[in-house]
Structure 1
Amino acid sequence: MDFHCHLDLYPNARDVYAQARDRNEFTWLVTTSPRAFTATSKVLGGSDKVLITPGLHPEIVGTRHAELDMLLEQIRQVRAVGEVGLDGSKRFQTSYDVQRKVFVAVVAQCAALGGRVLSIHSRQAVKDVLAVLDDHPGYGTAVLHWFTGSASELKAAAGQGCWFSIGPAAFNSAAGQALAKKLPRDRVVPESDGPFAQVDGASVMPWSAVQTAQLLAAAWDVTPAEAMHVLESNSRRLISLIHSES
């Protein structure tokens, strides 16, 4: 299982796609722009095991915000959306107002259409992400990918019913390890965030769930088998939510 992967951006994307399809029960391929969604859907094609979704990554909203109307139309045709969200880090501060407008429009569209499952980027912007979600009841289900907020922000997100996708690279820092201990165990699913996420200088691959389970086992003080059971159970529930969206 992999609930957040840029499968189309690996150097050997077709090969990785084929392997993911064979190795994983489910892989969520998030795209970074509406045009990328169209191209990736055409090039890689469809599979019952690989979900390809439209998004507009906050890091490129500054130059690609004109694609918003295309994204809103694409959301009508899918059950899940990603990658979308906000990035409040210094590097992207100049586009933050535009990011907000785009994210608000996306969440509002999801609510208007009866709900979608969203894979959400929230780096240094958790409070604003949660505020937008709170302003749009009925938007669906939020999966906060690679959560890096504070312990209090994690508590607030969990209180709003958010899910969390986590991968091996999240454990590269002491802060990431500390947050992993506090994740709500009934709403955690595995992700890779490959090819961007790296461990020991190598891109994390879409079939890294076993590694994630081992790392979570240490954080939760359970056996790897127990951690994997939790991830598998949660994954099935989230997949059911995706399939149940209108």
Structure 2
Amino acid sequence: MIYDAHCHLDLMDNMLEFINEIQNSDMNLFAVGTTPKAYSREIQFCKNARNIHVGLGMHPQLVSSGYDDMQLFKSLIEKSHYIGEVGLDFSKGEVGLDFSKGYIQTKELQINIF
């Protein structure tokens, strides 16, 4: 049995095609939404897929609306079967948040949320 333990369906250009392909295969996957809104969409698209398990997540690079995303995240926790780690790859000397040039504008938001 093949199992993909970390997949972001919402970042795929061909998400519905990919979901159909996985449903018709022997592969299983754990998909983690990168935002609470993405999780909600993925749950709907995958509700009949026996081999796709969707987890709630929020990626630091995609934190933008902050409060709204966090409120939605909190409301979905009770409904979610899985909560996945997204983009917080910790290693020695690294905090897992992204303060690079492209995401520096969300630095305070990332710190507050994570």
Q: Shared fold by TM > 0.5?
A: yes
What corresponds to 2:108 in structure 1? 97
Say if 2:36 and 2:69, in contact at 8 Å, map to a contact too. yes
Distance 1:84 1:70, change over 3 A: farther
Show the counterpart of 1:4.
6
Structure 1 alignment gaps of length 5 or more:
104-246
Q: CA deviation at 1:32?
A: 1.6
Whether the 8 Å contact between 2:10 and 2:34 is mirrored in structure 1 is: no
Cα distance in 2 for partners of 1:23, 1:10 equals 20
Letter in 2 for 1:23: D
Q: Which runs of 5+ in 2 are unaligned?
A: 89-96
Which TM-score applies when normalising by structure 1?
0.37
- Alpha carbons of structure 1 residues 28 and 67: separation in structure 2 relative to 1, 3 Å: same
Q: Hey, which of these two has a bigger chunk of helix by percent?
A: 1
Helix, strand or coil at the partner of 2:58: coil
TM-aligned CA deviation for residue 84 of structure 1: 5.5
Q: Which of the pair is proportionally richer in strand?
A: 1
Q: What is the alpha-carbon root mean square deviation over aligned residues?
A: 2.0
- Per-residue deviation, 1:45: 2.1
Q: Which has the higher contact order (CA 8 A, sep 6+)?
A: 2
Q: Provide the residue aligned with 1:64 in structure 2.
A: 65
Change (3 A) 1:79 1:2: same
Question: SS of the counterpart of 2:102?
Answer: helix
- Once the two structures are superposed, residues 54-84 of structure 1 have per-residue CA deviations (whole angstroms, 9 ceiling, x without a partner) of 22211121x2312101101212222422336
Residue 98 of structure 2 is matched in structure 1 by 87
> Which of 76, 79, 82 is residue 78 of structure 2 equivalent to?
76
